[in-house]
Structure 1
């Protein structure tokens, strides 16, 4: 199955991956920083930059704010309360339009994860190529229905979800008449242990749902997302930052420009190198046979009339003579001339 994920990009399993630099809230509420990150993502070779569309009211209940909770599943120290961070980091509606226009000028896709129906409406007004559903909303059935009815491609992260929950999400979207679905294998730990990533789930999701499957990565470094390409991941979503030491939720598990450039460059090499399952020999490789393969040569000086046996044979380059696999057809033949040692035998040498 293929999906037109953006104006210039079609994705399917084992296609060249669509690389999303997940800026999320890493702009820290600073539009100058956001634009610098877009510039850097473009320089790295990313296909899209992605933000997150939420407000202090659409994301978290008042009861949670009242507990003054701080998300402490990261070693990085955050400023203030949860409500103070959410208020500082959320992207205002006018900033969405500003960044969309900036992305258009840079030739990179602008996209975002909506966290409420109002934000779906906002992104539709802006004109995003697809809607990205965060892992936290895979069981938010009313929200999935609303997003599906836009008839935009729906990209769904599967972190924290069981197969049954993934299946229900897929059926919910299809139930609204939207067949443009891409699943992202995801582990919602920042960062996950290697043993908990289970990249083989990519193939399992491909087989189970017959849908394009990508990978939303929260690991350190480039090895894991690049490995996902060999399993056919058609999207790589990777958090992106200019500086891992910046304050904020996701900077430390994000790729910096050096890492993102490697992901963009090496993923294309890996996808091209995967080729197909059919054994082929290229024209360039065929041309190497004469130079690199061996031929049957005389092991010693041989006289006319010698009846050849295996003891008379050696096997050396080049491969322009009788190939070694035909030695049984040469054994028992009688020479019609003298042959010097190391001479390539030909069929003209025999009576």
Structure 2
């Protein structure tokens, strides 16, 4: 669970499973092996999220000739989510998803997941935010494509409807995000604006350094898109980390959690023989 004691790392599988439950299973297992605390998916009711015209648009893909064929082919249903729920419980890793419409919220509520994720694309939809808040499931909220007044409106809407925000994520919704658009100081801005909320980082950049830096700046949770291979087909693959990168990122975050210490200045036992060897005099009394 998210706390200020240990960075909660989320592997955003999203739709990078390409509609293949076997690939999703492999990704869950590898995310667990890499040290992730949770995996996240995306859930849509296709005929609500997309217009008829958008679904009918020609777009040749592995599932058929239209964009609708692609969107339906990527979508998991109850059988797949039952399998995800069972596997994650066996492995001891959390899972949850980002719903993109109200029926998808209701679908996800049949599972005992720790959180419901509000994607950046949904954070300006008042009715949707209220629907999520009224589930009483703790919410993780991303803030891509938002300025501070927009974030404030979303937070006020959720809390006004009785919802709990378990983490508010600084985020830039470009794929992949350029370095000059990551703006990690936004973490500090959100912390100052919402002192009662835990602040995290959801990244779409290339490489692991910004995510490690986000943890060093106090992000209590880091979310990154993951993939088995960036060369795989799909819209999110290029903005994702491969599993060896995920493992290295988590290793660096966990090392930071050790090296940051507690801030108390002390003489360590291992320093005492060094002091005896190197110090000529010990005549200065502490104030």
TM-score between the two structures when normalised by the length of structure 2: 0.92
1:28 counterpart = 2:18: yes
Query: Which residue of the partner structure matches residue 217 of structure 1?
Result: 203
Contact persistence 1:153–1:180 (CA under 8 A): yes
1:216 alignment partner, SS class: strand
Moved more, 142-151 or 171-180: 171-180
Pairwise CA distance, 1:222: 0.9
1:169 counterpart = 2:154: yes
1:182 alignment partner, SS class: strand
Structure 1 segments (4+ residues) deviating >6 Å: none
Pairwise CA distance, 1:135: 0.2
Query: Which residue of the partner structure matches residue 154 of structure 1?
Result: 139
1:110 counterpart = 2:95: yes
Greater CA radius of gyration, 1 or 2? 1
Measured in 1, the distance between the counterparts of 2:164 and 2:22 equals 38
RMSD: 2.1
Structure 2 CA distance for partners of 1:63 and 1:269, relative to 1, 3 Å: same
Moved more, 91-100 or 33-42: 91-100
1:323 counterpart = 2:285: no
- Which runs of 5 or more residues in structure 2 are unaligned? none
Deviations 1:173-225 (A, max 9, x none): 11122334311111100011101110011111111111111111101111111
Query: Which residue of the partner structure matches residue 269 of structure 1?
Result: 255
- Which runs of 5 or more residues in structure 1 are unaligned? 1-8, 71-76, 296-321, 327-351
Moved more, 131-140 or 120-129: 120-129
Q: Give the alignment partner of residue 71 of structure 2, picking from 83, 86, 108.
A: 86
Structure 2 CA distance for partners of 1:198 and 1:101, relative to 1, 3 Å: same
Moved more, 118-127 or 155-164: 118-127
Deviations 1:85-124 (A, max 9, x none): 2111111122111111111111111111111121111211
Measured in 2, the distance between the counterparts of 1:288 and 1:145 equals 61
Q: Give the alignment partner of residue 40 of structure 2, picking from 45, 50, 58.
A: 50
The aligned length equals 283
